[in-house]
Amino acid sequence: MRPYLLIGLITTIMTACQPTTRENNPLLTTYNTPFEVPPFDQIQHEHYLPAFKAGIEQQNQMVDQIITSTDSATFDNTILAFDQSGELLHRISLLFFNLMSSDVDDSLQSIAREVTPLLTRHADNLALNEKLFKRIQHVWNQKESSTLSPAQKRVVEKYYMDFVRNGALLPNDSQDTLRVLNEKISMLCLQFGENLLAETNQNFLLLIDNPNDLDGLPQAIRETAALEAKQQGHEGKWAFTLQKPSWIPFLQYATNRQLREKLYRGYFMRGDNDNANNNGTIVTEIAQLRAQRARLLGYSTHAQWVIEENMAEKPDNVTRFLDQLWMPALNRAKNELTEMQQIAKNEGLNSPLQSWDWWFYAEKLRKAKYDLDEAELLPYFELQNVRNGMFDVANKLYGITFNPMNNLPVYHPEVETWEVKDEDGSHLGILYLDYHPRAGKRPGAWCTTFRDAQSQNGHRIAPVVSIVCNFTKPMGDTPALLTWDEVTTIFHEFGHALHALFTDGQYKRTAGVVPRDYVELPSQIMENWASEPQVLRQYAKHYQTGETIPESLIQKIEKSAHFNQGFMTTEYLAASYLDMAWHDIDASTKIIDANTFEQEAMTGIGLIPEILPRYRSSYFSHIFDGGYSAGYYVYIWAAVLDADAFAAFKESGDIFNRDLANRFRQHCLRDSGEDEGMTLYRKFRGADPSVEPLLTRRGLK
């Protein structure tokens, strides 16, 4: 849900350094930039405080107009008026919090700490406004006897349930308690994120000064590590960080087992180091406070409150779904472990493999079974070629084109900007691409917006979309060469971007707003095209010679499609179970220690010690700082949909089938939010999704 729509409204305020007026604050005027993108080159930190204040005041004034009206509540004077309130606040929130993730510094963090409770209170003031709720309730009570369109009825229902689910029916004393809980939770989530950023980007560095400790590492990885060390003031040495492009290759190739353990421990102990950034107490407090809030709102658990709005509907359905996949995945992972243990034994290692050994011996297993070394692929996955390849896929599917823009302000010099045009040449939106790690960027990859798409009075407001990643950096004369995981990641995030670019709808509350377990369908389906041979031949070109990737390598990629799927599915499912464990507790549960709670949850599902959950609790930002609480399962829930949807293209004999693409664009992207997720999917597919394509794709049958 969008920030100005009651839930999770988190923005920031600090004391201004100097007086700022509406006239000289670029955040408070129409952006005088091409396509009205944010004027990053004009915005200063001192602009945020007055802008947030103005945004709050503007929305309060609009709400006051609604509740003081002497006319009977109608869709137009109440629902539509509220839907159109808060636009300024939403615009500022998107801008600020996108920068909090992609280009943060101490000053922005200070702003966030001060304004978070302020904006949480503002959200509560809206959600618990009795007069506003009564007018919304009046429209809701009359909706069936009115002449409202189906789209309008849906907006009424969504707003009514927003208010009910966020405490509008509670007595005053319970509402006071709810306000306290919301503020505590929001501040703890903010603290969690700050701690994790410090633990990832500041508090660990594996520094190597003995070249023998680099044995096994490809030359490109060594050169990148040398450059990292130089940039951090350690010229002549090699540095490895907790960013994926750094630590994963080290674990894959470094023969020094002790150093592999040291680096991996640095990664999986983030937020669990008994220092100022420890997240153990924070996660237990968040989970318990969420459980208390759920009970106050009439739900047995936080998971029940969250999943009620999802396609899964209730926690038991999620657990049953995960259980269907767990044993096939775990059994496959155990088989993978047996094969790797034999390789290790043959090489003279007689002790059991540990978690920090998995990547190293999995790479040896891939070489042994498929004659494929990931280092062979790197020269063919130059970043710009991969980017152009995904643009080409979108063009073939939807007819859209991407034109580079050099005159748009950006928040960091590394950011690329593109104008996206529809098939008829009309402006569709703006796309920002931000590829590489830096100190002020949180880990991972994500897609977000600086402006959402919507239609108002017959005029479409074009979106401004941003993809942010942490991919392998270019080095000297060598461009950025992506791993296969990074290739599929950018295709994934591009799927989110297409969803944002294609979204349309009259009402902010529903345009593009989908259940959490639907939102990964548009992203994950795009991953399928990345590995299709005819797509690979288009973008996989050797960065030095321009040679198309050899057919022999394409065949190896196809044959190795099931490689390590047991491990990857198991670590993911383990994290999904861990998320559910934290959020399916009731308010009476007392959690003494986060590590003990986590270990009991993992023991309960039978997770083997050689595999850790993809995210341990202390750095599980998806659920403690990212909006996926009781919802990390959604990736594999949506994987059923995306595998089934892509099967439709394969069955048609044309992976660029324009008829199917147009139906997918209409029902699953453009109109998303206009109806229930499964209803829209059926309109595209003509049937319910089958789990068989997913099981086949992952080799779990």
Please give the positions annotated as active site: 493
Q: What is the dihedral of CA 686, 691, 692, 696, to 10 degrees?
A: 130
Q: Measured between alpha carbons, how far is 420 from 459 in angstroms, rounded to an integer?
A: 17
Query: For 549, which DSSP code?
Result: P
Looking at the DSSP assignment, which residues form a beta bridge with residue 421?
401, 427
Residue 29 token pair: 């005027």
Q: How many CA atoms lie within 13 A of 595 on its CB side?
A: 9
- SS3 track for 243-256: CHHHHHHHHHHCCC
User: CB–CB of 613/597 below 8 Å?
Assistant: no
The secondary structure element, H or E, covering residue 532 is none
Q: What's the CA gap between 402 and 390, in Å, rounded?
A: 11
Reference 82, options 180, 170, 2; nearest CA is: 2
Residue 496, token pair as written in the block:
């989110």
Q: Provide the sign of the torsion angle of the four alpha carbons 518, 522, 524, 525, taken in this order.
A: positive
Residue 298 CA neighbour count, 13 Å, CB half: 10
Q: What SS3 state is found at 517? A: coil
CA separation for the pair 402, 419 (Å, rounded): 6
What is d(CA 521, CA 516) in angstroms, rounded to the nearest whole number?
10
Q: Give dist(CA 507, CA 78) in Å, integer.
A: 13
Q: Give me the sign of the Cα torsion angle 414, 189, 244, 257.
A: positive
Q: For 454, phi and psi rounded to 5 degrees?
A: -170, 155
Taking the C-alpha atoms of residue 289 and residue 295, their distance in angstroms, rounded to an integer, is 10
Q: Could you tell me if 594 and 284 are in contact, meaning their C-beta atoms sit under 8 angstroms apart?
A: yes
Element (H, E) at 463: none
Question: How far, in Å, CA of 446 to CA of 470, rounded?
Answer: 10
485-489 long-range contacts, CB within 8 A, separation 24+: 485/244, 485/248, 486/245, 486/381, 487/381, 487/386, 487/530, 488/527, 488/530, 488/531, 489/445
Cα–Cα dist 307/305, whole Å: 6
Dihedral sign for Cα atoms in the order 241, 243, 248, 253: negative
C-alpha triplet 162, 167, 172: angle, nearest 5°: 150
How buried is residue 223: exposed, middle or buried, by Cβ count under 10 Å (0-12/13-18/19+)?
middle
Describe the crossing of helices 521-530 and 383-398 by its angle, rounded to 10 degrees.
110
Measured CA to CA in angstroms, residue 532 lies from 147, 389, 535 at distances of 49, 12, 5
User: What is the number of other CB atoms lying within 10 angstroms of the CB of residue 397?
Assistant: 21
The CA–CA distances, whole Å, from 149 to 69, 84, 144, 158, 301 equal 24, 18, 10, 14, 35
Tokens read off for 173: 């004393």
Which H helix or E strand runs over 449? strand 446-451
| 314 alpha carbon, distance to own chain's centre | 22
Q: With CA atoms as reference, report the closest residue to 446 among 429, 457, 461, 433.
A: 433
